[in-house]
Chains A and B, each alone.
Chain A
Amino acid sequence: MSTEAPDNYAVPLLALDQIESINNAGIKTRKAVSADEPYFIGHFPNCPIFPGVFIIEAVHQAVIHYAANYCGRVRMIEIRSVRFLSPVAPGDLLECDCRCAVRSEDGLLQVKATCYCGSRRVASVNLAYCIEKADDPKSCQD
């Protein structure tokens, strides 16, 4: 369980505080959404709602962790689709269940994630990542 934000890439918050499981097929993570997190004062005053983009961020941080173990450095190149189904608020335990697979046709890492708070489904997030070639760090830039 880590309590500090990553120090090797910029993040708006630490959106992953526990890894429930990880294997070649994907990763499951948890994030305890706490009332004292700094962004709640502005989103929104007197009405704390976990920003939807931070659910995407939670999936993204899970994918970075997955990729470091299974495919190397990756770069998010597309939000294929995202759908928010229910708001997330302080006190919720956000769980991200991410299925990860490299597509043979384009070599992209495809991520299909479903996010839950308890039994409540809060979002579905589909992302695509370019896998950087070890010998060419600019291979994912166009």
Chain B
Amino acid sequence: MILSHAKIKSILPHRYPMLLVDTVKSLEPGVSIVATKNVTGNEPCFAALADWAGPEQYAYPRTLIMESFGQAAGIIFTMDQRQAKLPSHEVLFFGAATRCHFHEDVFPGDTLEHRACLERRLSDAAVFSGEVWVGDRRVVEIERMIMVSRPTTLLDQYIIRDQR
């Protein structure tokens, strides 16, 4: 492990119950990352399942796998951004994605291993590709995910304008 969970919290703005990266196993800033997330039976997404639910019904939501991958990718972006001394009051958003293939289900007890590569870097956006593995099984392939960085102040304005 090269980044502890504590360090990850200093990099990502996400917090419980939406902080979905546990550790970083390797990181080459601006290039690639290998990060993990342990899926446990205690997660909020399993709370509403009926007692009669069978093993297959404990499949971890695929949307949360994507969120977790996006946060791992966001660590590369954010670390890179710090090196370039860009403003720190920006938040990273999931902007777009194409061709994300899901091969297998993930269950409580599994450890997701995200392997993300930075393909292209723009001033306020980045393009990633990657894969998600559980042990020796490749569970997701992601051809392209685009993350965009936006100032939180712009969002505040947006929210205020909309409530008026």
Contact = CB atoms under 8 A, between A and B. Distances in A.
B136 interface: no
Interface stretch (B8-16, B113-121, B122-130): B8-16
A142 interface: yes
B34 to A, nearest CB: 21
B148 to A, nearest CB: 9
Contacts of A5: 48
A38 B44 contact: yes
Interface residues of B, number: 46
Interface string B75-115: 00000000000000001011111111111100000000000
B95 A78 contact: no
Contacts of B56: 137
A78 B18 contact: no
Interface size class for chain A? Answer: 35 or more
Nearest to A7: B50
A78 B102 contact: yes
Contact of B60 (A10, A42, A56, A141): A10
B64 interface: yes
A84 B159 contact: no
A70 interface: no
Contacts, number: 120
A20 B101 CA distance: 30
B57 A8 contact: yes
A111 B152 CA distance: 33
B70 interface: yes
Interface string A1-13: 0001111111110
Contact of A78 (B46, B101, B152): B101
Given A8-B53, A10-B45, A84-B93, A39 B63 contact: no
A76 B15 contact: no
Interface stretch (A22-30, A45-53, A99-107): A45-53
Interface of B: 13-19, 44-46, 48-50, 53, 56-64, 66-67, 70, 91, 93-104, 152, 155-156, 158-159, 162-163
Q: A-B pairs with the 3 shortest C-beta distances?
A: A42-B15, A42-B18, A5-B48
13 contacts: A7-B49, A7-B50, A44-B14, A53-B63, A53-B70, A53-B94, A57-B63, A76-B62, A78-B99, A79-B99, A81-B97, A82-B98, A89-B162
Interface of A: 4-12, 38-39, 41-45, 47, 49, 51-54, 56-57, 60, 76-84, 87, 89, 91-92, 137, 141-142
